[in-house]
């Protein structure tokens, strides 16, 4: 049976601090959704209201597998085809090193 080694790759990532919503928006190119209340509608009337809502309700991102909630401290990683996905900090630190 043939064996394979995964090629090393340099990727981009950003850590969600709960306070860097604008940076997350810029990094993900708006691939996020803000859930408001029980009806899951994306309604924001001002930037400040949107930031406050994300702090209160959490950050959700669109991935190839569907919508995922990002916890404070999680990393958001950009893949080969500009797809994004969350990663828990302990897994991120074991899998990646700064370049």
Write out pLDDT tens, residues 26-62: 888 766 655 544 444 555 567 787 788 787 878 888 8
Q: What is the pLDDT of residue 36?
A: 47
Question: 89 near 75, Cβ under 8 Å?
Answer: yes
Sequence ranges of the domains in the chain: 12-95
pLDDT grade for 73, boundaries at 50, 70 and 90: very high
pLDDT of residue 76: 94
């Amino acid at each position: 049976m043939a064996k394979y080694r995964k090629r090393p790759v340099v990727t981009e990532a950003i850590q969600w601090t709960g306070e860097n919503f604008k940076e997350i928006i810029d990094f993900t190119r708006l691939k996020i959704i803000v859930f408001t209340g029980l009806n899951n509608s994306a309604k924001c009337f001002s930037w400040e209201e949107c930031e406050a809502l994300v702090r209160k309700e959490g950050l959700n991102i669109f991935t190839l597998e569907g919508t995922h909630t990002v916890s404070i401290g999680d990393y958001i990683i950009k893949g080969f085809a500009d797809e994004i996905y969350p990663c828990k900090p302990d897994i991120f630190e074991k899998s990646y090193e700064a370049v």
